Chains A and B, each alone.
Chain A
Amino acid sequence: MSQGPAPATAPPEASKSGLKAWLTADVALSTTQAAAQRAYFSWLRFQANPLALAGLVVLVLLLLMAIFAPLIATHDPLLQNLEHRLQPSSARHWLGTDEVGRDVFSRIVYGSRVTLYIVLLVALIVAPIGLVVGTVAGYFGGLIDTALMRITDVFLAFPGLVLALAFVAALGPGLENAVIAIALTSWPGLARLARAETLVVRSSDYIAASRLQGASSFRIIWRHIMPMCLPSLIVRVTLNMAGVILTAAGLGFLGLGAQPPMPEWGTMLSTGRRFMLDHWWIAAYPGIAILLVSLAFNLFGDGLRDVLDPRSEG
């Protein structure tokens, strides 16, 4: 469309604030400004998607809840009070109390810390491993590719939860071990994804151009291939987060994750199960929390995909 009648760009308005003018300037004057403009236009696209925005809001609330847990919680999450056990929601205990009289609301608030801790730790372990394994295998091909992909296949061959169970059984129950187990089971998918992206990118002219400037393999992978794989990887990690939360909850449920009395949503759900028929709130509220956060991650991930997909820009 280089010769076609270009849509007239909006005339710069005098009323625009300095930052907005800087972000929408026709000509970027520095790398920072160019990157900021790009981020700004991505944000404009993202916020046009109400569901994704809702997901983001829930995640921000979760983060705030985790940070300010001591201020938000109405009770000590570990404090037992056997006189007030198994109470329904009331002004004193908003979401009721559990079988040893702990305040369910406060435990859910503090549990957000555990959930975030799991999610962030898994992301931090999994994304780099998947990215490095996938791009290296995809870029070099041949023996390296075969070796790395067979290792990946071994991990992929088992269902995630079963493999995580095996790891936890071997390492011993506990939150850290649960995180490691979940990470070990979820990197292969990411490596596969990164490899597939790399295979597409590898044959493009800009990689050839970079090689013709004498760039080393390390530089090509780091500067050219990883930035192209990263967006889909971020999206995938975000979408995986729902699964991670559920796996963590599952491990907690089986008594292999966070150990009591730590307020972890999965563990709460698991113990609440015994009282579910008469005292449904003990199991229901942590369940709702898990559902909400996994859903939020999914919606947010979908929105990110629309914005970050490198193919959506010309």
Chain B
Amino acid sequence: MALLEVRDLAVTFGVGDSLTRAVDGISFAIEAGQSYGLVGESGCGKSTVLRAVSGLNPDWTGEILLDGQRLLPRRERAFYKLVQMVFQDPYGSLHPRHTVNAALMEPIIIHGLDDANGRIVRALDQVQLGPRFRFRYPHQLSGGQRQRVAIARALILEPKVLLLDEPTSALDVSIQAEVLNLLADIRRDNHLTFVLVSHDLAVVAHMCDRLGVMLKGRLVEELSVEQLQTGAVENAYTRHLLAASKGYDRRLAVRADDTDLAVRDDG
């Protein structure tokens, strides 16, 4: 049985003329221990899916099942011990007036956990930040270090599922490599299930077992990483993304104005 299953999920914003279907009926299932990627361009709804699953956005229709249990739009506190999230912007996801210690204490206090000190030390250790960083404020940390703190905060509750919203897109490539390696390590060590949202096919190919390609709120294709690597891709849009992610190619720009209108409609 799948650990996380999404059935016919739909999210709409606005009403009347300005109604937009950000997510338009998508379904996928993720086995325990798997790493699933959602790729697509900005505005395709991939982050909206993650926000619905995480409970941040309660306005959705369809079904979300965790371990076979249907989730309600409003989540119980116990849910957050199973599912945690890491955000894209390491500069925005840490409270500017809380030290690293305070950020890591937060989940411990909320859930009334014991051994606060031990948990914080272990979490910092696991993300390879030493005790030196424990009493720093976010502005005293680099982007990569902040993202490690955000990961440590997500790990404190020992979740089963980690939702990753573009976790490295704001980082330099060399820092991205460190954070991706770290994520791979903690996934192995903690037997985590990942849902990784990214616009970068190479990152998804590196991190995931399976992926879904999204376009305008729909899942246009689901494929395995092997298919992605060998280029055994059915859908034209996926092929286009794949070709574009290999770098600049004059031929890919031929369709210029066809997509232009589509983009304008979305915006």
Contact = CB atoms under 8 A, between A and B. Distances in A.
Nearest to A225: B95
A44 interface: no
Contacts of B139: 313-314
Nearest to A206: B95
B87 interface: yes
Given A212-B85, A213-B107, A2 B97 contact: no
Given A206-B93, A310-B96, A211 B142 contact: no
A171 interface: no
B136 A206 contact: no
A214 B142 CA distance: 27
Interface stretch (B98-106, B214-222, B238-246): B98-106
Interface residues of A, number: 30
Contact of B87 (A31, A205, A313): A205
Contacts, number: 91
A108 B87 CA distance: 58
A8 B96 CA distance: 24
A210 interface: yes
Nearest to B143: A2
B96 A313 contact: yes
A274 interface: no
A211 B172 contact: no
A205 B92 contact: yes
Given A213-B80, A219-B110, A38 B137 contact: yes
A31 B100 CA distance: 10
Contacts of A206: 92-96
Contacts of A212: 54-56, 80, 83-85
Interface string A200-214: 000011101111111
Contacts of A209: 85, 87, 93-94, 150, 153
A3 B110 contact: no
A215 interface: yes
B45 interface: no
Most chain B CB within a 10 A radius of its CB, from A2, A30, A33, A38: A2
B157 interface: yes
A210 B85 CA distance: 10
A228 to B, nearest CB: 7
B80 A204 contact: no
B135 A33 contact: yes
Contacts of B24: none
> Most B CB atoms within 10 A — which of A29, A30, A210, A219?
A210
A279 interface: no
Contacts of A228: 95-97
B86 to A, nearest CB: 9
Contacts of B153: 209, 213
Contacts of A204: 92
B212 interface: no
A215 B109 CA distance: 9
Contacts of A31: 99, 101-102, 135
Interface string B164-179: 0000000010110000
A211 B75 CA distance: 10
Contacts of B95: 206, 210, 224, 227-228
Contacts of A211: 55-56
Nearest to A208: B56
A154 interface: no
A284 B87 CA distance: 61
B77 A214 contact: yes
B24 to A, nearest CB: 23
Nearest to A2: B142
Contacts of B89: 205
A67 interface: no
Interface string A1-13: 0110000000000
B132 interface: yes
Contacts of B172: 2-3
B144 interface: yes
Contacts of A224: 95
B38 to A, nearest CB: 18
Contact of B135 (A3, A34, A215): A34
Contacts of B70: none
Given A27-B135, A314-B139, 13 more contacts: A3-B172, A3-B174, A28-B99, A28-B135, A205-B93, A208-B85, A212-B84, A213-B107, A213-B157, A214-B107, A214-B110, A214-B111, A313-B139
18 contacts: A2-B145, A3-B174, A28-B136, A31-B99, A31-B135, A34-B99, A34-B136, A34-B137, A205-B92, A206-B92, A209-B85, A209-B93, A213-B107, A214-B81, A214-B111, A215-B110, A223-B106, A314-B139
Interface of A: 2-3, 27-31, 33-34, 38, 204-206, 208-216, 219, 223-224, 227-228, 310, 313-314
